[in-house]
């Protein structure tokens, strides 16, 4: 089965494909679809962004699509940068700029108060708009300076306390054994296997309830997700709609 990864980030593609080894899936990225426009990440939550990033390319490509949105939540900063982690230092910023801004924001904060967590929300969407959400979380702390040269993003300043290493000091195998993205994907694996084995199959889990359609654009969704806005058109919805 060919499955679209809704990203052009080579680091993320490599990480997800390694974590997903053993699945009967041929992974392709948005680089294989140069005509697809970038999805604007304008949601107020990681769930909204992940859903939109999966649903829109799935419709356009005709392929089941897997997307994620990841946020770094720092306790001393009331959960920031959160949903804006990728652009924390401003539009078009690079990883180094984001790291520098975060370290400056935590200047003078003692080691015992630098707790943080990485949260990855992963969405799987069918071309017809079926959607499933899973989540993974990794607890740790923010260092006072970058450490390590592996990984990407905030990895050099995110300390996995129990391991005594930042994510950037770990090998790919070490990171993939415990990361937030690895946990989210491990929870998604049974559903990926189901989709791969059932051509055109519809996902069903014990936690799902009845299907619901957006009253504005008709996008079919699972009522249990209770998004504040439809990922297809932005209509404000809740579980009572449809």
pLDDT at 240: 36
68 tagged catalytic: no
Decide if domain 2-205 falls under CATH 3.90.950.10: yes
pLDDT at 161: 94
pLDDT at 215: 46
User: Which DSSP helix (H) or strand (E) runs through 46?
Assistant: helix 46-61
Contacts of 85 (CB under 8 A, 6+ apart): 70, 71, 72, 98, 153, 154
pTM of the model: 0.76
Give the chain's residues under pLDDT 70: 199-242
pLDDT at 48: 94
pLDDT at 217: 52
Which residue, 20, 2, 10, 17, is CA-closest to 58? 2
* Residue 83 buriedness (CB in 10 A; 0-12 / 13-18 / 19+): buried
161, two tokens: 């306390």
Which is catalytic among the residues 42, 68, 69, 155?
A: 69
Per-residue pLDDT of 110-137, as tens digits, reads 999 999 999 999 999 999 989 999 999 9
């Amino acid at each position: 089965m060919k499955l679209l990864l809704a990203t052009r980030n080579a680091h993320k593609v490599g990480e997800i494909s390694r974590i997903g080894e053993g699945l009967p899936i041929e992974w392709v990225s948005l680089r294989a679809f140069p005509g697809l426009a970038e999805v604007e990440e304008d949601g107020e939550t990681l769930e909204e962004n992940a859903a939109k990033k999966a649903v829109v390319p799935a419709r356009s490509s005709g392929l089941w699509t897997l997307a994620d949105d990841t946020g770094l939540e720092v306790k001393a900063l009331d959960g920031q940068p959160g949903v804006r982690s990728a652009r924390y230092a401003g539009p078009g910023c690079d990883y180094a700029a984001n790291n520098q801004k975060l370290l400056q924001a935590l200047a003078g904060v003692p080691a015992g108060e630098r707790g943080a967590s990485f949260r990855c929300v992963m969405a799987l969407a069918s071309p017809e708009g079926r959607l499933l959400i899973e989540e993974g979380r990794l607890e740790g702390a923010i260092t006072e300076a970058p450490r390590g040269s592996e990984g990407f993003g905030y990895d050099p300043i995110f300390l996995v306390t129990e391991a005594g290493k930042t994510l950037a000091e770990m090998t790919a195998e070490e990171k993939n054994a415990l990361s937030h993205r690895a946990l989210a994907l491990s929870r998604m694996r049974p559903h990926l296997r189901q989709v791969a084995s059932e051509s055109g199959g519809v996902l069903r889990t014990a936690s799902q309830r009845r299907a619901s359609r957006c009253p504005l654009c008709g996008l079919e969704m699972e009522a249990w997700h209770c998004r504040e806005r439809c990922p297809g058109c932005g209509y404000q919805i809740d579980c009572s709609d449809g």
